[in-house]
Amino acid sequence: MINMDKKFLIIVSMTLICSFGQPIYAVNCGGEEYIDSSGVFWNKDQGYKGGLSIHPGRNKIVKYTNDPAIYQTERHSSDNFSYNIRLPTPGSYILILKFAEFWSSNANKTFSIGIGQNIVINSLEIYENVKDSAAYDVFIPLIITEDVVFWNNTPLANAIENEKIIVNFIKAKSNPKVSGIMLFKGKLENTDYYEQERRIKHHKKLFQHKLEIDEKFIQNQLEKEKIFDNWETFDGVYVIKNYPVTLFLTSILFYILFQKLMPKAKW
Ligand SMILES: *[C@@H]1O[C@H](CO)[C@@H](O)[C@H](O)[C@H]1NC(C)=O
Ligand SMILES: *[C@@H]1O[C@H](CO)[C@@H](O)[C@H](O)[C@H]1NC(C)=O
């Protein structure tokens, strides 16, 4: 009886894992061991080659996450660097890379991400997507077999070295960096991918809307100025525009003329 219950529990857990996916490995780049708000264990920084551990976001607020600690530290380099991840059992995985920008509001602060010799994310720009002090995750769906890593139905050359997957962070217009790496067993729909996409789209729409309102305001101002310009170019209106001054000067002129002419006038 007990055995049956145990078997049942195992089957239920297996089914849940299969339908919801689960993290297989996580590393808090540039940081310490950490247990996140969903109970996932993050290893302290390890498995890297090159780069420096830095804490640009220490004590800073990080939007769009329950786990700012992961984003507050990072591995950063003025050159390429890489991480290796132990090859998991064959299956469908999502490589989740976590980023946040704290220094720069500049566009064109880009770098790329490769697996083995292939670039899988070209010219990533974090600020462009979420602005600063905000979590931004990159989701890379992979199919992993015993000796090949597939991305987009393409086998990635040199993706596996000594039973480890090599993830490269490649300098582009700017220096590469990363705050967290997670290998998640499952599909995109088991991750926060669609939620993040919706949020970013919504924010971009709001921003666009704001731009359009500003644009309308500017158009209105321009229209007004155009009317004003027309008035000025229309000669007659010059008088209207300066009506009080014109009236004053004309009155003085008439008064003087009247004074001068009156005594001589013969009625
Ligand atoms: C960085 O990696 C890219 C892509 O693999 C390569 O083209 C470039 O030469 C590397 N830079 C250095 C300094 O090794
Ligand atoms: C980003 O780079 C592109 C292409 O080099 C350039 O046209 C654009 O002006 C740059 N944007 C900023 C904000 O620097």
Per-residue pLDDT of the chain (267 residues; tens, 9 = 90+): 556 666 666 666 665 555 689 999 999 999 999 999 999 999 999 999 999 999 988 889 999 999 999 999 999 999 999 999 999 999 999 999 999 998 766 667 899 999 999 999 999 999 888 988 999 999 999 999 999 999 999 999 999 999 999 999 999 999 999 999 999 999 999 999 999 999 999 988 887 888 788 878 878 877 877 665 545 444 444 445 556 676 788 888 888 887 777 766 555
Q: State the pLDDT at residue 266.
A: 55
Looking at residue 8, its pLDDT comes to 65
Cα gap 46→39, rounded to integer Å? 20
Please give the CATH architecture assigned to the domain spanning 2-191.
Sandwich (2.60)
Whose atoms come closest to the Cα of 50: which ligand?
1
User: Nearest C-alpha to atom 6 of ligand 1 is from which residue?
Assistant: 170
Alpha helices (H) in 21-110, listed in sequence order = 68-72
Q: What's the predicted TM-score (pTM) here?
A: 0.75
Atom of ligand 2 nearest to the CA of 108: 1
Measure the CA–CA gap between 192 and 220, rounded to whole angstroms: 42
- Ligand 2 pocket test, pick from 105, 108, 174 with the greatest ligand atom count within 8 Å of Cβ, gives 108
Cβ–ligand 2 distance for 107 under 6 Å, the answer yes
Q: Is the backbone of residue 62 left (phi > 0), alpha (psi -120 to 50) or beta?
A: beta
- Residue for token pair 């997670």: 182
Q: Ligand 1: distance of its center to the CA of 50 in Å?
A: 13
CB 132, CB 107: distance < 8 Å = no
Contact 187, 110 (CB under 8 A): no
User: Which value, to the nearest 10 degrees, does the dihedral of the CA atoms of residues 80, 85, 89, 90 take?
Assistant: -10
What span, in angstroms and rounded, lies between the C-alpha atoms of 153 and 151?
A: 5
CA of 90 to the centre of ligand 2 (A): 42
The residue whose CA is least distant from atom 1 of ligand 2 is 108
Pairing of strands 180-185, 91-99: antiparallel
